Every structure is written in C-alpha cells, then in structure tokens.
C-alpha cells in the first residue's frame, strides 16, 4: 500500500537527521532550526511517502500564501536509497500533484544546472534527474538562479495559470524571502533575468 501523509515535527526532525543530511550536500541544507521555525509560521510543509508503513520518500516544501495564491517550492525531494529505481519517485510526485498540491497556484522545483557540473559523470547525473522531472510533468520555466553558490534551473509543476519567466522569478524570490532573513537573501540569492 502506497500512502502520502503530512509529517509531524517529530517525523520531520527524524527524517532530517537520518536522511536529509545524507541525501543533500551541506551547501544545499537549511539548518533544522530554520525549518522548524518556518513550520511554526505555517511557511513550510513536509510529506512522506510510505509503503507498508515504512518511509520510502520524502518532500519538504516552502509554502507561501501571497495575494490569495498558494505557492510552493520543493526544498527537498528524495527517495530512500534502497527504494530508488523502483518507480517510487514517480508515484510520489503524482500522488503529491493529485493530493496536497492539487489546489496550488504555483509549484517550483530547483534542479542542479548541468552546465555547472564538475565532471562528465556529474553532468550526466544532473541531466538524468532533470529528465525524471520532465517525465513527471515538470517544465522548464526559463529561470535560473544561484543560491548559496549552487547553480539551479527552475522547473514548475503543471498547476495554476501559465506564468512567464518574470512572474516565475518573482514567485521564486518571494518564496525564498519567506524563509530567509533579508541580509542572507541579499547575499546568497541571485536570480538573473
């Protein structure tokens, strides 16, 4: 049985310590305290995918209500190593789109920019990840960004109304401003248009 459920703060802490710290490099990880504070403000949501009561995948989101719209940014999305290459990631994304994200006005996702890979193997891995997202309905927004010195391309789920690149860039900025102190945002987030 495959089920997607919201995570409690206790579950978020456990998944962060056991999995996020393993699955994401230090320069892509927010401090757990920042995630906890954003959850307390209602600006962060986390979901787990479970098979037979065991965690198979997780997704952490920045969530923002702005001008009557509900906006999301995937902060972390990962399938547990022992469950990869079994269709779990696709089922999880489809379940999120059909369930918790169905009414969203915009859902964005960062993917490591392949042009900034350190090696051919790393570039191939980044292209493979991007192809996975595209197979699952995400589209290129034409926006790229540098956050904490990591280069990203911004993809979007097919939800809400169509947006141009300038609108996507503004939504992306607003999502980061919601969870990041202004002085850090000004120093660490670059979104060229």
User: pLDDT tens digits, residue range 118-141?
Assistant: 999 999 999 999 999 999 999 999
Rounded-to-integer distance, Cα 7 and Cα 96, Å: 13
Query: Which residues, including other chains, have CB under 8 Å from residue 148's CB and lie 6 or more apart?
Result: 27, 28, 188
Return the beta strands (E) in 42-157 as ranges: 44-51, 54-66, 69-79, 106-112, 139-147, 150-156
Say which CATH class 2-190 falls into.
Answer: alpha beta
Mean pLDDT confidence for 36-49: 94
Q: Within 13 Å, how many C-alpha atoms sit on residue 187's CB side?
A: 5
The pLDDT of residue 109 is above 90 = yes
pLDDT at 108 over 70: yes
CA distance linking residue 39 with residue 160, whole number of Å? 24
pLDDT of residue 181: 84
> Average pLDDT of 18-44?
91
The mean predicted confidence, pLDDT, of the chain is 92
Q: Does residue 168 contact residue 141 with C-beta atoms inside 8 Å?
A: yes
Are 159 and 171 spatial neighbours (Cβ–Cβ below 8 Å)?
no
3-state secondary structure of 113: coil
pLDDT over 70 at 193, yes or no: no
Whose tokens are 């997704």? That residue is 59
Radius of gyration of the chain measured on its C-alpha atoms: 16
pLDDT band, very low/low/confident/very high, at 112 (cuts 50, 70, 90): very high
In whole angstroms, how far apart are CA 142 and each of 113, 149, 154?
12, 19, 7
**Is the confidence at residue 106, as pLDDT, over 90?**
yes
**Facing residues of 156 across strands?**
108, 139
pLDDT tens string 148-182: 888 999 999 988 888 999 999 999 999 988 888 88
Using a pLDDT cut of 90, give the percent of the chain over it: 76
Q: Which residue has the higher pLDDT, 8 or 180?
A: 8
Instruction: Say yes or no to pLDDT of 71 above 70.
Output: yes
CB 146 within 8 A of CB 190: yes
User: Backbone phi, then psi, for 76, in 5-degree steps?
Assistant: -140, 135
Domain limits of the chain? Answer: 2-190
């Amino acid at each position: 049985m495959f089920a997607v459920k919201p995570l409690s703060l206790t579950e978020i802490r456990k998944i962060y310590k056991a999995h996020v710290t393993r699955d994401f490099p230090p320069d892509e990880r927010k401090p757990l305290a920042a995630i906890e504070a954003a959850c307390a403000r209602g600006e962060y949501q986390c979901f787990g995918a479970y098979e037979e009561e065991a965690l198979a995948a997780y997704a952490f989101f920045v969530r923002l209500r702005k001008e009557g719209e509900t906006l999301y940014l995937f902060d972390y999305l990962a399938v547990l190593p022992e469950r990869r290459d079994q269709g779990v990631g696709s089922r999880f994304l489809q379940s999120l789109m059909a369930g918790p994200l169905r009414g969203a006005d915009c859902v964005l996702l960062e993917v490591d920019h392949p042009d900034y890979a350190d090696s051919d193997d790393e570039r191939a891995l980044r292209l493979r990840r991007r192809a996975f997202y595209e197979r699952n309905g995400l589209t290129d927004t034409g926006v790229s960004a540098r956050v904490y010195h990591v280069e990203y391309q911004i993809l979007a789920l097919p939800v809400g109304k169509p947006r141009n690149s300038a609108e996507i860039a503004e939504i992306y900025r607003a999502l980061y401003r919601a969870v990041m102190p202004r002085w850090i945002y000004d120093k660490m987030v670059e979104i060229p248009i």
